[in-house]
Amino acid sequence: MDVSSIKMRVAGLRVFVFVAGCSPGVQLWRVVEVAIAKATFGAGCFWGVEAKLGELSGVLDTAVGYQGGTLENPTYKDVCTDQTGHAEVVQVTFDPSRLSYDELLEQFFALHDPTQVNRQGPDLGSQYRSVVFAQDDAQLREAQAKIAELNASGVFRNPIATVVEPATTFWKAEEHHQRYLEKRGMVACHI
């Protein structure tokens, strides 16, 4: 069988794998049961964070959105006022048999400056804060341990300012923000 492309779609606890090119004109969807997990990170502007985390082997899906605030169904315009309490975040759906939460944390801390408070680069405001929204107690403990490990290692000149909080409602951002850089043929922004 010659497989020319494989696409995955996550739905609940199932991953639907689309295999094209099996034979001319034949399309095949196969249901593959895998354990999936979610992780949510805020590291400044969500466009670049989504692009970088989406490149990792074992990431099944990404979505940008808002988390940690008080307004229900916030919009980008609402969050940019810095009055809702939300952070711009990326929710990552991943296969923990191929990518560990610890590896995701490593990438998260490597792709931004976690010592800055309420900013990343030129972006200022609490919506750009460095934050981990833990999906469960295990993620909470692992994120806190990673921060302690990085602080002790001296890899950053200043203490890590990243806040670790239990996950609250994730509000998916407007469609034009999803895979923003990819849609524009860009590979990175200023992060």
- Give the residue numbers annotated as catalytic, written as ranges: 45
- Using the Cα atoms of residue 50, residue 56, residue 62 and residue 65 in order, give the sign of their dihedral: negative
For residue 75, give the H/E element and its range: none
Residue 80's SS3 state is coil
Beta-carbon contacts of 9 under 8 Å, excluding residues fewer than 6 positions away, are 15, 16, 18, 61
The two structure tokens encoding residue 179: 């895979």
DSSP 8-state assignment for residue 18: E
In this structure, how many other beta carbons lie within 10 angstroms of the beta carbon of residue 89? Answer: 28
